[in-house]
Amino acid sequence: MKSFRFPLDRVLDWRRTELDMEEARLKRMYAGLAAIDLARAELESARDEASHALLARATVDGAELQLLSGYRDAVKLQCVRLDQKRRESEQEAAAHQQKLLAVRQRVRLLENLKERRLAEWQAETERQIATDAPPRNGPFRAPPKLCIERNG
């Protein structure tokens, strides 16, 4: 009895490898989004700390208020740039998510085909065993022996 062999196993392995790579890439994209969010939060926190530190003083002159205003404007501009970068990264991640779904679908298609072929192979193997096996209805009987008489 020959063993089961799926002719597209190498293709399936390659598709699984491709899926793993695409999932890792999407994970890196999401990590990039998280890094952008963290950078924005740190900027806003530094801005707030600077404002509180300056305003907590007993005396503040106009030059320091002007510097704080300039710093806040710079932080605001940097936040706008980070927001734009985040939107672009979100769009890339969404597009990659669609690509990943297509790769998953190709892997699942090959896995389903392999399962069907295995089921067909198992059914064929069982049929062969059933046709090659002795009948099960009644005791096993050996084939009759031929008696040959010899004259002479």
Q: Are 100 and 26 in contact (CB under 8 A)?
A: yes
CA dist., res. 94 & res. 97, Å (int): 5
Query: Tokens standing for 121?
Result: 């192979």
Instruction: Determine the pLDDT at residue 138.
Output: 55
User: Model pTM?
Assistant: 0.72
Angle at 119 between CA 116 and CA 120, to 5 degrees: 85
Whether 38 contacts 79, CB under 8 Å: no
Alpha helices in the chain (DSSP H): 9-55, 62-132
Mean pLDDT by 10 residues, the chain (152 residues): 89 97 97 97 95 88 91 95 97 97 97 96 90 65 58 54
If 0-12 CB within 10 Å is exposed, 13-18 middle and 19+ buried, where does residue 50 land? middle
- Tokens 């208020």 — which residue? 65
Please report where in the chains the tokens 């700390």 appear, as a residue: 49
Q: Enumerate residues 6+ apart whose C-beta is below 8 A from 97.
A: 26
